[in-house]
Structure 1
Amino acid sequence: MVVIEIAGVSWMKKLEKMSDSLITTLIAGGTGLISSLITIYWLKPKIDRKFHIFQLEENYKHEQAKKIKEIIGQYKSQLLNSAEHLHSRLKNYSKNCSENWLEVNGDYHTNHYYIDTMVYRFLNFFAYIKLVEDNLEYLDTTNSENDDMEMIRYFRIFADVISDVDLFKGSDYDANNQSDHIFRNRFEQYYECLIQEKKIISFNLFEDRKDELIEYIQPIYMFFDGMNKTEPRYRLERLKCFHCILISFLNHFGYDFQETKLTKVQKLKKLLGPLKFESGLKIIIKKYKLKGSKQLTELVIDNYK
């Protein structure tokens, strides 16, 4: 009996220890469970809210990018055709610069096919850019896809190459006189004249309305009137820089038949001479951080030296 009692006491002690351990485990587990439930109770709404905000932001970016792509797609074909026509005219002018077909001595009301088509194609191109930009006005273009953002950057560069006097940095050019550049804030007024009911008027209508349009676009005629290689002015240099960007634009976004090969770029160089303001052009390109700026510099500018 003594042995049994002793054994019983031993087992009782073991059971007591096991009970204490179990209770401790249960308490610890319960405390952890309660702590987890409290944590989930407080954190879940915050996590859900952050995830919801994240979803909204991603949906917003996606919708903005989609709308931007749709707008650019709506005008892209017409814009590329306009760029091609202008590029074709600039190539033709390069070959026939010595013919002085742009010289009309201020007689802008009379129809002169060569300068009329030059002015029309020039303004037509910028008018299409305006149609795109006007439709993008209320969208957040920072959410554009890479290729669309690249095109938007080109839009800004085109305007700068025509209006920015920094292109002639280091020269004696008078920035207060609109002779070899076009004032940026006034430039938009000139190509807006070609837009009627959100469409670009045809060349035939442009000719028919030229008398009334001259009042608004005369500075563009003056910019091209008599342009030649031997004059002591910089407007041809500005046009050559613009042509470089236009070639790059068509090479990047255009159809394969709109591409200008290196050999043709070099021919243009021989026809019109090297770029006198290459450094100014490179500054403008760098300013807008074009992803293809290295290719643009190597293919177009460096081979136009």
Structure 2
Amino acid sequence: MLNWFNNLDTILQTAIISLITSITIMVLTWIIGILKDRYSLNYKLKKEYEFSQRKKLKEEIAKNKMPLLNSIEELNYRVYNLNINLNKGWLNISEHNWFINEQYFLNSSIYRMLEFWYWIIKTERDTISIDSTIADDEDILFLTYIKTFKNIFCDAEILKELGYNSSQDTNHFFKNDLETYGNWLIENDKLIGFEEFKTKLKLNYVGYKKVIEYWTSIKDIDSDKNLNAMRAFHLISINFLNKFGHNYQKTNTKKIKILTKSYNTKLKIKSGFKDFLIKNKLDKEMKYIMKELNKN
């Protein structure tokens, strides 16, 4: 097959080989160039997309971060205050007396919970359309806390050690209702203050009766279901504020040890709480507090 080539003059053979080599190199160079350009463009577009999504996520988190931190701090401090003053019965108020006199502790507790839910749901809603799968670790952790806070008062299984049945709804909330609860604080696109809230609540509390009863049903016994959920929130909020809050919002190690020592016997849902943290991907983040909580 190659006899014709072998019979050619050596100079001509060399010229043909050189021509074929040049054409081959040219074609390969063209193909490689196309592939390189295509890969470079895809790579560039990928990097631009990732940068824009990370930037957008950080911007949305930053918009809500300060009021969110403050709402968590306020509810956190309310649970702390509740623990200290449980025996005073400030929340043990019948429906007939809900709006007689100031009832500051009850009204402010409800306000703080609704405000907490508002900022949790708003933060989730404002970031949900952004691709968080490519977010940096700190932002992913922040969003994990947001999901956990949304779930903490809605997870019936966390109360399983207290014999709570998930088919009941007396001691937990439905997640789909949280946005409605939180948005009740909005008037003319603004969050209303505590004084306006008190008036609004007094005039129309029927749709929010469950939130009021959640607080007024808390008893000074460690097996109280709502109280246990509050204490679980308390521990998570401390860890969250220590990670993302200002210095004045952080709890030092000494106070954490005192609190967890107290909760060692008072928290009756340790197993459910542990499972809850695992389910919400916060078990590693909460490792220190859980270790202190379970010390003998």
1:36 to 1:108, Cα distance in 2 relative to 1, 3 A:
farther
Q: 1:197 to 1:153 in 2, by over 3 A?
A: farther
Change (3 A) 1:31 1:97: same
Task: Say if 1:178 and 1:70 are closer, same or farther in 2 by CA, change over 3 A.
Answer: same
Counterpart residue number, 1:108: 98
Work out the CA distance in 1 between the residues paired with 2:110 and 2:192: 13
Unpaired runs of at least 5, structure 2: 1-8
Q: How does 1:126-165 map to 2 (within 5 A)?
A: 126-165=117-156
Amino acid at match of 1:237: N
1:240–1:275 Cα contact (<8 Å) kept: yes
Which moved further from structure 2: 224-233 or 122-131?
A: 224-233
For 1:214, the aligned partner's letter is Y
Shift of 1:130: 2.0
Cα shift at 1:121: 0.9
Displacement after TM superposition at 1:129 (Å) = 1.7
| Other-structure match for 1:52 | 41
How far the C-alpha of 1:233 sits from its partner, in A, is 3.4
Shift of 1:198: 4.2
Report deviation, 1:260.
1.1
How far did 1:118 drift? 0.9
Which residue number in structure 2 is paired with residue 280 of structure 1?
272
1:238 offset after TM fit, Å?
1.0
Q: TM-score, normalised by structure 2?
A: 0.86
Structure 1 segment 168-247 matched on structure 2, within 5 A:
168-230=159-221, 233-247=224-238
Percent identity between matched residues is 27
Taking the aligned partners of 1:72 and 1:187, their CA distance within structure 2 comes to 20
Cα 1:222/1:44, change in 2 over 3 Å: same
Q: Is the 8 A contact 2:76 2:234 kept in 1?
A: yes
| Contact 2:110/2:212 (8 A) holds in 1 | yes
Query: Is 2:76 aligned against 1:84?
Result: no
Pairwise mapping of residues 61-76 of structure 1 onto structure 2 (< 5 A)?
61-76=50-65
**Offset, 1:109:** 3.8
After superposition, the Cα gap between the structure-2 partners of 1:44 and 1:261, relative to the gap in structure 1 and judged at 3 Å, is same
Matched, 1:41 2:30: yes
Q: Secondary structure at the match of 1:163?
A: coil
Deviations, residues 54-74 of structure 1 (Å, cap 9, x unaligned): 211211111111011011111
For residues 195 and 24 of structure 1, the distance between their equivalents in structure 2, rounded to whole angstroms, comes to 87
Is the Cα–Cα contact under 8 Å of residues 162 and 268 in structure 2 kept in the other structure? no
Deviation string 1:99-121 (CA, Å, 9 cap, x unpaired) is 11111122334441001111111
Q: 1:112 to 1:170 in 2, by over 3 A?
A: closer
Which residue number corresponds to residue 85 of structure 2? 96
Instruction: Give the Cα–Cα distance (whole angstroms) in 2 for the partners of residues 74 and 96 of structure 1.
Output: 35
CA contact (8 A) 1:100 1:227 kept: no
1:42 offset after TM fit, Å?
Answer: 3.0
Shift, 1:150, TM fit: 0.9
Query: Does residue 1:296 correspond to 2:276, yes or no?
Result: no
Q: Map of 1:5-44 to 2, 5 A cutoff?
A: 20=10, 24=13, 26-44=15-33
Q: Distance in 1 between matches of 2:169 and 2:238?
A: 26
Distance in 2 between residues matched to 1:171 and 1:23, nearest whole Å: 95
Q: In the superposition, relative to structure 1, how do residues 213 and 75 fare at CA in structure 2: closer, same or farther (>3 Å)? A: farther
Cα separation, 2, equivalents of 1:24 and 1:289 = 71
Kept after mapping to 1: 8 A contact 2:75/2:113: yes
Q: Which amino acid aligns with 1:287?
A: K
Contact 1:64/1:140, CA 8 A, preserved across alignment? yes
Aligned to 2:3: none
Offset of 1:288 from its aligned partner? 3.1
Map Cα deviations across residues 210-240 of structure 1 (whole Å, 9 max, x no partner). 1244122211111110412327531111111
Q: State the TM-score, normalized to the length of structure 1.
A: 0.84
C-alpha distance 251-150 of structure 1, shift in aligned 2 (>3 A): same
Instruction: Name the CA shift for 1:141/1:119 in 2 (closer, same or farther; >3 Å).
Output: same
Q: 1:213 to 1:48 in 2, by over 3 A?
A: farther
Aligned residues: 283
Against the structure 1 CA distance between its residues 153 and 199, is the aligned structure 2 distance closer, same or farther, given a 3 Å change threshold?
farther
RMSD over aligned Cα atoms:
2.3
Distance 2:26 2:188 in 1: 63
Structure-2 separation of matches of 1:214 and 1:125: 18
Aligned to 1:256: 247
Q: Deviations over 1:188-217 (max 9, x none)?
A: 321221133443221111112112441222
